[in-house]
Amino acid sequence: MRKVLTRRHFFTVLLMAVLSVMGTSCQYMPPIPPSNAQNTILQKLASDSRFQFLTVAVARAGLTSVLSDKSAQLTLFAPTDQAFQAAGFPTVESIAKAPAETLKAILLYHVLSGETKSAQIPLASNTAVTTVANKPVFITRTNAGKVFVNGVAVIQKDWDASNGVIHVINRVLIPAVGDIVQTAQGNANLSYLVAAVLRASQGTVNVAALLSGDGPLTVFAPTNQAFKNAGFATVDAINAADPAALTPILAYHVIAARVFSSDLTEGAEPTTLNGKKVKITLAGGPKVKGLSNTTASNIIITDIVTTNGVVHVIDQVLLP
């Protein structure tokens, strides 16, 4: 199975583009038009101090004309500067070079063709909508009027522009780079999980094929340290384990549905592919607890989108 970019790498690639066009000044920043002309999506972004990262990234990706097109009608999910900073980049100056085409693909993943106001979003969980990048995002509107995209909260809805509408979000959306197995293979902190999946697949159940199938699936993915804490000191220890013993444990980390963090509710007990339940708690941050675990596992990274579902990284192996 091919190696793919990690989510962290995708963030880095996305953000690395900006500094290369900035130099030591803002000469490559799109000019801010007179206040009486700030009507298009790009003009609104450029005139708002919350969107320095996004505005510069748009310029680097060559999308200035797209978001300035007065004849278009678009919907933009716009990450704030704080959204970029949450990815580990505290200032614009921390951005370095990246391929413009990579930036373009990621930024277009934030754009829908046509104007979609929040009230037009179905009152449902994870409605698939194809972006301009020709990849789906999954949009939720709750009974309380909250809106989420790929589990990410919309913190300001329905900011009108002359060529569409802007919904402000508090994280950068990263498109899927592969299925669940491929995504795990691209993350060095999940190499023990990958080894366990491959070892279990040598038994009667092809776990790797299952996790690479159509889905949708949700996987709670233990880190390497989580496996070490569970008694697997090395990958060799995993490779020496009985596949028949690994399979039910791995199945206990999988739900046969697409469950973003926005879908998690206090006290929920979803059934896993193992046939047994895990328990979700939200106080102090999202957690998931196995029946035989003495404490709940922290969900330390949420909402990694894959082509066949979603991955949440956890800090304990769940025990049925």
Q: Over the stretch 265-319, which tens digit does the pLDDT of each residue have? A: 999 999 999 999 999 999 999 999 999 999 999 999 999 999 999 999 999 999 9
Asked if residues 155 and 169 have their Cβ atoms less than 8 Å apart, the reply is yes
Nearest residue to 126 (alpha-carbon basis) of 260, 307, 219, 299: 260
Q: How confident is the model at residue 94 (pLDDT cuts 50, 70, 90)?
A: low
**How many Å apart are CA 302 and CA 98, to the nearest integer?**
25
Percent pLDDT > 90 in the chain is: 79
pLDDT of 55 higher than 80: yes
Ranking 86-95, 163-172, 218-227, 287-296 by mean pLDDT, the lowest is: 86-95
Work out the number of other CB atoms within 10 angstroms of the CB of residue 255. 19
* Strand 309-314 versus strand 217-222 pairing type: parallel
**Structural domains in the chain?**
7-169 (2.30.180.10), 180-314 (2.30.180.10)
